[in-house]
């Protein structure tokens, strides 16, 4: 069992393809690992083991002889509890949906299952994915495997913790303001935020909204690329979805970028702790040692905070307003605040934010004409005490709202550029720190190549899976 848990996703899929291990054996191994570790972590509160076994048997009975390179051959995965999985409890981390059994599967889940993934469990998330600290009134708090007193981040904290502890080989996450990147940084795994449209999802009540995306999480970059291959593709009912790329992401090899820009704080838009600044400087030095030209620079993101606040609030008011009208007493205070902030917006504020985001996008494309990669923190601090709802202060600077400390990620969201969090260091007291790498729009291939080059020069991926501490 321990040998199976220790396999990378790529190794496990290859053994599945060759018939050296069965999907049912991997399900058994994952079940045992979850039973051993989740009592302290609370990463995967909803299991669907019988559904997984039935699906595994169907895959084993009809294994394709001409499977695509991204076919997962029955590999068990976890799906974030914001995403519908047919016949499985999907709570969105909210008491409003505590007893909800999904009548359908999200397009993302349909694609993953068609590509040979077996959904084993739902991973914990904060209510409606709001906030980068994974707790809710349905399942409680998820803990960080590196230190059980710390948060795993969020909102994909359950997925990140499950991967770190070896409960699954791959997991889905989603990201609006950093919900893939922040928990990956806090748990020392990989979280990739793809370009809008790269991964189809829905059915959605706001199909043209493009700031929130789904993405892959894994223990190393190659596994993340494999997962991305299994997720991408066009869907007729997602108007922004993009076709499957001509070449699989899993085929990408490590390439050192020619010119890397690094910034410890994206031009001073958010405070960053000294240890994180030092870690990012060392990551930049590592790229220089690999042969890259490294300069300290970043695109102009000075309008990012106000722009993101407005557009996020607008999305909350549009997407969740009915919940406030009908279930106000069941919503946490941060969600109530975000919806009400959206309802209070004026047309002038919305127009100004839309124009500002357009300028931010153009600033980014102009920047990437001269740089191949942007390197910055994936979180402004190492993971903090799990009893804290959100950071109100960093480096002596007070933060007004529950999303301000996430600006290091949410500013990048506004650019529509793909971004990945890759482990790069540990603090002096053993807390993980991740580097955020950003590539030009729709250049996930370039992003993965650079992340592979960085990972190859470090040993962080070999440190997981691990027993929770």
pLDDT given at position 388: 97
- Mean pLDDT of the 253-281 span: 98
**With 90 as the cut, is the pLDDT of residue 402 above it?**
yes
> Which of 402, 243, 239 lies closest to 313 in space, CA to CA?
402
**With 70 as the cut, is the pLDDT of residue 65 above it?**
no
CA distance 97 to 102: 10
Domain residue ranges of the chain, discontinuous segments joined by +: 2-463
pLDDT given at position 69: 74
Going by CATH, does the domain composed of 2-463 fall within 3.90.76.10?
A: no
Is the distance from CB of 301 to CB of 411 less than 8 angstroms? Answer: yes
Q: 172-223: per-residue pLDDT in tens?
A: 999 999 999 999 999 999 999 999 999 999 999 999 999 999 999 999 999 9
Active site residue 155: yes
Active site residue 132: no
- Mean pLDDT of the 307-323 span: 98
82-93: b (≥16 Cβ within 10 Å) or e: bbbbbebbbbbb
Is the distance from CB of 74 to CB of 60 less than 8 angstroms? Answer: yes
**With 80 as the cut, is the pLDDT of residue 64 above it?**
no
Q: HSE-up of 259 (CA within 13 Å, CB side)? A: 11
CA distance 41 to 266: 33
Instruction: Supply the DSSP string of 128-196, one letter for each residue.
Output: GG-SSS-EETTTEE--BTTBTTB---SSSHHHHHHHHTTS-SEEEEEESSSTTHHHHHHHTSEEEEPPT
Structure tokens of 251? 């085929």
Q: Which of 105, 156, 159, 179 is the catalytic position?
A: 179
Q: What is the mean pLDDT of the chain?
A: 97
CA distance 440 to 364: 8
**With 80 as the cut, is the pLDDT of residue 63 above it?**
no
**With 70 as the cut, is the pLDDT of residue 242 above it?**
yes
Q: Which of 15, 80, 122, 332 is the catalytic position?
A: 80
- Mean pLDDT of the 381-405 span: 97
Q: Which of 8, 94, 132, 155 is the catalytic position?
A: 155
- Containing 394, the helix (H) or strand (E) segment is strand 393-394
Dihedral of CA 178/183/185/186: which sign?
A: positive
Burial of 215 (0-12, 13-18, 19+ CB in 10 A): buried
> Which of 234, 251, 230, 252 lies closest to 71 in space, CA to CA?
230
Residue 1: pLDDT band with limits 50, 70, 90: low
Helix extents (H) in 328-425: 333-343, 347-368, 407-413
pLDDT given at position 2: 85
Place of tokens 């409606």: 128
Active site residue 62: no
- Mean pLDDT of the 25-32 span: 98
**With 90 as the cut, is the pLDDT of residue 68 above it?**
no
Q: What is the pTM of this model?
A: 0.97
């Amino acid at each position: 069992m321990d040998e199976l848990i220790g396999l990378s996703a790529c190794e496990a899929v290859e053994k599945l393809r060759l018939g050296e291990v069965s999907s049912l054996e991997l399900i058994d191994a994952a079940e045992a690992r979850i039973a051993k570790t989740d009592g302290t972590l609370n990463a995967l509160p909803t299991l669907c083991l019988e559904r997984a076994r039935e699906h595994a048997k169907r895959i084993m009975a009809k294994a394709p002889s001409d499977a695509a390179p991204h076919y997962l051959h029955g590999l068990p995965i976890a799906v974030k509890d914001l995403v519908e999985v047919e016949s499985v409890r999907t709570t969105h981390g909210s008491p409003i949906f505590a007893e909800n059994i999904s009548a359908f599967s999200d397009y993302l889940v349909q694609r993953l299952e068609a590509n040979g993934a077996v959904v084993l469990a739902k991973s914990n998330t904060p209510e409606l994915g709001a906030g980068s600290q994974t707790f809710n009134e349905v399942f409680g708090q998820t803990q960080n495997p590196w230190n059980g007193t710390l948060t795993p981040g969020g909102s994909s904290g359950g997925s990140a913790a499950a991967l770190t502890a070896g409960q699954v080989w791959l997991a889905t996450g989603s990201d609006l303001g950093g919900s893939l990147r922040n928990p990956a940084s806090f748990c020392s795994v990989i979280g990739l935020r793809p370009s809008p449209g790269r991964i189809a999802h829905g059915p959605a009540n706001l199909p043209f909204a493009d700031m929130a995306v789904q993405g892959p999480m894994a223990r190393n970059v190659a596994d993340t690329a494999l997962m991305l291959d299994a997720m991408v593709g066009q869907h007729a009912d997602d108007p922004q979805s993009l076709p499957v790329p001509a070449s699989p992401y899993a085929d990408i090899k490590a390439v050192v970028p020619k010119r890397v820009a690094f910034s410890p704080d994206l031009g001073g838009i958010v405070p960053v702790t000294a240890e994180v600044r030092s870690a990012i400087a060392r990551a930049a030095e590592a790229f220089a040692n690999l042969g890259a030209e490294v300069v300290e620079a970043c695109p102009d993101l000075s309008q990012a905070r106000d722009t993101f606040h407005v557009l996020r609030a607008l999305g909350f008011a549009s997407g969740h307003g009915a919940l406030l009208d009908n279930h106000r007493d069941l919503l946490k205070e941060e969600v109530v605040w975000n919806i009400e902030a959206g309802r209070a917006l004026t047309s002038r504020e919305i127009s100004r934010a839309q124009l500002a985001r357009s300028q931010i996008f153009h600033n980014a494309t102009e920047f990437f004409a001269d740089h191949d990669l942007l390197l910055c923190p994936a979180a402004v601090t190492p993971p903090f005490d799990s009893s804290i709802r959100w950071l109100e202060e960093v480096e002596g600077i007070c933060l007004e709202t529950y999303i301000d400390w996430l600006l290091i990620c949410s500013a990048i969201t506004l650019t529509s550029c793909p971004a990945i969090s890759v482990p790069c260091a540990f603090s002096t007291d053993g807390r993980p720190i991740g580097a955020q790498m950003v590539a030009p729009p729709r250049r996930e291939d370039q992003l993965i190549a650079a992340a592979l080059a960085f990972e190859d020069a470090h040993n962080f991926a070999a440190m997981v899976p691990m027993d929770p501490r």
